[in-house]
Structure 1
Amino acid sequence: MTKAQVRRDLLGRRRTMGDQQRGRAAEAIAMHALSTPVVARAKRVACYLSMPSEPGTAPLISGLLGLGIEVIVPLSRPDRTLEWVAYDPAEPVAPTALGIPEPAGPPLGPDALDRCDLLFVPAVAVDHAGHRLGRGAGYYDRALADVRGPLCAVVFTHELLPEVPHEPHDVPVQMVITPDGLFRVP
């Protein structure tokens, strides 16, 4: 199957999930992520504010902040790049034209990800070798190209697959978190 076919099938399946199922998945993802040693040692973590169809990150972000970990989140730029801002739950969040929730705040600069102990990244699917299939615009592949910190994709359990189509520019992840637990890429 092509990337477009896999993406279309999995995004269609996401649309059929109910709010309760999504809520349970988000809580389970947070529980598994927050119990990992890399999170326990973290000072700064990058994460994303999930869209309604994605595995929810609100419980994860709340838990990270509760542990005193600084959380930075992305801002999408018109040139298809990402900037990063410190997340403050007291600040308003508004959806972009693409429906992506983003807070206001001053950008942290080009080296913001270099100071992260862990990066939680969105994906439509991830395979057992760590190949991440995103939505296709390349924002994250560009942002993560030179990042040295460990990358952890967040997906629903059925989106962790034996294999996904990938290309040389696709940045692999080292971990995958699902409602069923943490998968470390061998």
Structure 2
Amino acid sequence: MKQLYREELLNRRKRYEHAEEDSERIGESFLQLNEIQRANSILLYYPHKNEVNTLSIIKKLIKSGKKVLLPKVKGEDILPIQIRSLDSLKKGYAGIMEPEGEAFPVEKIDVVVVPAVAFDTSGHRIGYGKGYYDRLLKNVKGLKVGLAYDFQVIEKIPSQSHDIPVDLIITPTRIINTKGGM
């Protein structure tokens, strides 16, 4: 079931023509959240294959003095590494740009922005099937946020006990508090 959703939604995302303007709207909503304004350390992802573009968010957060972290894949794990600019990144796992440096302690991250192919309104997600973020998220105490185009939020995603849901999902048209509210 997840594999069918994954294929269908990846194809739709690849062809999605409003990615740029939707990414801007999502970024504005994200940066206005009180939790983001209060956060010291934020792990984002480098956009890949027409994902919600996080580059303007990353630049604004660096400029504001926040500790901005990006993931580096090492073996079976994601290492969060602080960056001070996008210029120092190198092509890494799956051709995605990655930082070099020392890993930041996962339990000290205030906010993690989790990439996904799809989310449901309970915060469950379909990732890329490798489990990197599930392994990372089990140690995250901070806020978990999903950024998605509206069509990426679907009714129900089958979940398992090791799946860790996000707390908020931000789309171009709404913010979904997966714990109820908003």
Aligned counterpart in structure 2 of residue 57 of structure 1, from 54, 59, 80? 54
Deviations 1:42-81 (A, max 9, x none): 111111111132111101112222322111111011x221
Indicate if the aligned counterparts of 2:19 and 2:52 stay in contact, CA closer than 8 A. Answer: yes
Q: Distance in 2 between matches of 1:114 and 1:160?
A: 28
Aligned counterpart in structure 1 of residue 160 of structure 2, from 162, 167, 170? 167
Stretches of 4+ aligned residues off by more than 3 angstroms: none
Q: Distance in 1 between matches of 2:67 and 2:152?
A: 28
Q: Distance in 1 between matches of 2:158 and 2:8?
A: 13
Q: Distance in 2 between matches of 1:173 and 1:106?
A: 26
Aligned counterpart in structure 2 of residue 116 of structure 1, from 105, 109, 114? 109
Deviations 1:107-147 (A, max 9, x none): 33xxx221122111101111111111111000000011121
Aligned counterpart in structure 2 of residue 23 of structure 1, from 20, 26, 38? 20
Q: Distance in 1 between matches of 2:122 and 2:86?
A: 38
> By how many angstroms is 1:104 displaced?
2.2
Paired residues, number: 179
> By how many angstroms is 1:97 displaced?
4.6
The residue type equivalent to 1:15 in the other structure is K
Report SS of the residue matched to 2:176: strand
Report SS of the residue matched to 1:98: helix
1:107-146 residue pairs with structure 2 within 5 A? 107-108=103-104, 112-146=105-139
The residue type equivalent to 2:21 in the other structure is R
1:91 aligns with 2:84: no
Q: Distance in 1 between matches of 2:114 and 2:135?
A: 13
Share of identical aligned residues, percent? 29
Q: Taking structure 1 as reference, are residues 60 and 162 closer, same or farther at Cα in structure 2, changes over 3 Å only? A: same
Indicate if the aligned counterparts of 2:124 and 2:165 stay in contact, CA closer than 8 A. Answer: yes
Q: Taking structure 1 as reference, are residues 96 and 90 closer, same or farther at Cα in structure 2, changes over 3 Å only? A: closer
Gaps of at least 5 residues in structure 1 are: none
User: C-alpha root-mean-square deviation of aligned residues, in Å?
Assistant: 1.4
TM-score, length of structure 1 as denominator length: 0.90
The residue type equivalent to 1:132 in the other structure is R
Q: Taking structure 1 as reference, are residues 132 and 90 closer, same or farther at Cα in structure 2, changes over 3 Å only? A: closer
Gaps of at least 5 residues in structure 2 are: none
The residue type equivalent to 1:117 in the other structure is D
Q: Distance in 1 between matches of 2:143 and 2:177?
A: 11
> By how many angstroms is 1:96 displaced?
2.0
> By how many angstroms is 1:90 displaced?
5.2
The residue type equivalent to 1:113 in the other structure is V
1:152 aligns with 2:145: yes
Deviations 1:143-173 (A, max 9, x none): 1112111100111111111211222111111
Indicate if the aligned counterparts of 1:11 and 1:124 stay in contact, CA closer than 8 A. Answer: yes
1:105 aligns with 2:101: yes
Q: Taking structure 1 as reference, are residues 97 and 74 closer, same or farther at Cα in structure 2, changes over 3 Å only? A: closer
